[in-house]
Amino acid sequence: MARWRGWLAMVLVVLAVLSVLGRATEEGTGLGSSERPNVLVLLVDDLGYGDLACFGRENVSTPNVDSLARDGTKFVQWISAASVCKEHTIGEMLRTVDYATGMSGKWQGTAEEVQYCMIMANNTIVEQPTNYDNLTQSYVHVHSPLFSSPAFFNVSRGGRFGDNVEEMDHSVGRILNTLDELGIANDTLVILTSDNGPFAEEGWDKAGRTGGLKGSKGQTYEGGIRMPGLARWPGRIPAGRVSNAPISTLDIMPTLAELTGASLPADRLIDGMSILNELYGQEDPAVRNRTMWHYCGHNVTAARFGRYKLHFATPVWTSDARPSPLCTECCPYGPTNFNGTGGSLCDCAEENLLFHDPPLVFDMILDMEENYPLSAANITNFDQLVASAKSALAAHYATVQPFPNQMLSLPVPALVPCCEGSWVNHDACMCQRYQEGHVYP
């Protein structure tokens, strides 16, 4: 069978991927007997570190995702690129080495911005606004507003969020089953992770869980940035292994570049690094001793230095003194927002941050909950560690330039994706034109 070599990124697990996979397999790309794998990246939206059974959640059932841990490697220190969502350009890179690439995902607005929501097939909007009633499986999971299809409504023991996680897991199962049916499971690297931690300010019933990690979405405490990380490539990635190497979602691109022979973009600095050795089960000192910068807005508020993590600034949590608080370690700013609706994340404005000099330092091997700040009394190299971090941060800042945040200026009609024409004419931004089997540009 002609082997399909492709990369798929999904903002959410979505069944439309399956038809892309099937077509691509039939057509093939004619790359001969290369060892390069198919690549499937599953990026779940707002799934917390503690939301999968294989990461310790007891009141949801996730057998399909758990199979990735059983048949592949589970990374317990997989760090998101940011504490809120972001974008990828991996598909463009892999096209340069003859991969057929595709993406299924979503552009999501709030409930009040429903027309911003759309379904895309490759670069084509095929439905706008999204009709949630028509979504058979898992498209919008596990992000609020937590729609469930009837088969998954009220089935989990983890509430509405648990229902969403189980429906997402079901979709992952269908994708993995299709890889089996097509006979390409052994030739396919599957990576599953999340983009950021739980949206705690939406309340306990709507948000995921961090598995005991501090903080949540929007924060550079581990609860906002540490994600479940799973990678499976039968015969290549060790099965049943648990890795505590510090991995970044930003590593996916350089890793795939090394794996496929693609060239990384040369016009910019690449923050990630290849983790191929770690995927193959070999400890890589460069990965283990790495530096990672954790941004909040335009500023680095925390950094990973090998096994240590330093906080230069932490959010000032808003206290909610009610007997049943909406959330803890969170920022639903002001008493008027303690009405059960939540909505605000901790932001990065100076007045809402507490600055630390020397920084708070935690040992991420011994204290991943970030409860016990270290000092010179605990570790002999404390002063040297802090000095090195400050020096490295200054060098890092010298390589970046502030860029206007386009999200703050939305909605700008020219920037809002629209079925036909421009957002200036809202009526033009409505369509339902998905056809099964059609290849969209």
Q: How far is the CB of 85 from Ca ion (least distance, A)?
A: 4
Helix (H) or strand (E) holding 38: strand 38-44
The one segment of 82-90, 107-115, 255-263, 385-393 that binds Ca ion by CB under 5 A: 82-90
Q: Which of 6, 14, 39, 46 binds Ca ion (CB under 5 A)?
A: 46
- Residue (25 or 248) nearer to Ca ion, CB: 248
Q: Which is nearer to Ca ion, 49 or 99 (CB)?
A: 49
Stretch that binds Ca ion, among 29-37, 58-66, 79-87, 412-420 (CB under 5 A): 79-87
Q: Which residues contact 416 (CB under 8 A, 6 or more apart)?
A: 116, 410, 423, 429
Classified as helix, coil or strand, 304 is strand
Q: Report in angstroms how near the CB of residue 406 gets to Ca ion at its nearest.
A: 17
CB count in 10 Å sphere of residue 308 = 20
Beta-bridged to residue 119, according to DSSP, are 106, 127
Q: Which span sits near Ca ion by CB under 5 A: 81-89, 106-114, 301-309, 425-433?
A: 81-89
Q: Identify the DSSP state of 286.
A: H
Q: What is the closest distance, in whole angstroms, from the C-beta atom of residue 105 to Ca ion in the complex?
A: 11
According to CB under 5 A, which one of 3, 11, 24, 45 is a site residue for Ca ion?
45
45 vs 201 by CB, closer to Ca ion: 45
Q: Given the complex with Ca ion, which of 85 and 225 has the nearer CB atom?
A: 85
Cβ distance 73 to 221 under 8 Å?
A: no
Give the helix/strand (H/E) hosting 357. Answer: strand 353-363
Residue 85 contacts Ca ion per CB under 5 A: yes
Cβ closer to Ca ion: 102 or 198? 198
User: Applying CB under 5 A, which of residues 195, 201, 202, 251 lies at the interface with Ca ion?
Assistant: 195
One-letter-per-residue 3-state SS of 162-222: HHHHHHHHHHHHHHHHHHHHCCCHHHEEEEEEECCCCCHHHCCCCCCCCCCCCCCCCCCCH
What is the full DSSP assignment across 372-385?
S---TTT-TTHHHH
Nearest partner of 29 among 69, 1, 67, judged by Cα: 1
Stretch that binds Ca ion, among 45-53, 208-216, 243-251, 320-328 (CB under 5 A): 45-53
Identity of the residue, 21 or 41, whose beta carbon is nearer to Ca ion in the bound complex: 41
Chosen residue from 83, 104, 156, 196 binding Ca ion by CB under 5 A: 196
Which region among 39-47, 350-358, 367-375, 383-391 touches Ca ion (by CB under 5 A)? 39-47
Residue length of the chain: 441
CA angle 60, 66, 72 (to 5 degrees): 165
Closer residue to Ca ion (CB): 66 or 195: 195
**Residue 222 sits in the site that holds Ca ion (CB under 5 A):** no
202 near Ca ion, judged by CB under 5 A: no
Binding site for Ca ion (CB under 5 A): 45-46, 85, 195-196
